[in-house]
Amino acid sequence: MTPEIKALVEWYESLSRDSLATISNYYTSDCYFKDPFNEVRSRDVITSIFIEMFEKLDSPHFIIDEVICDENKAFMTWRFNFSWRGKSMVINGGSHLRVSSDGLVNYHRDYWDAAEELYEKIPVLGWFLRRIKNMAKA
| 102 within some domain | yes
Domain that residue 105 falls in: 3-112
pTM for this structure? Answer: 0.81
| 130 within some domain | no
3-state helix, strand, coil in the chain (%, to 5): 40, 40, 20
Please say whether the beta carbons of 5 and 81 come within 8 A.
Answer: no
As for how many domains the chain has, the answer is 1
| 59 within some domain | yes
| 123 within some domain | no
| 122 within some domain | no
Select from 12, 58, 37 the least CA-distant residue to 117.
37
CATH number at residue 59: 3.10.450.50
| 30 within some domain | yes
| 16 has pLDDT over 90 | yes
Please say whether the beta carbons of 38 and 49 come within 8 A.
Answer: yes
The pLDDT-based confidence of 84 (bands split at 50, 70, 90) is confident
| 138 within some domain | no
pLDDT digits (tens, 9 = 90+) for 35-47: 988 999 999 999 9
| 120 within some domain | no
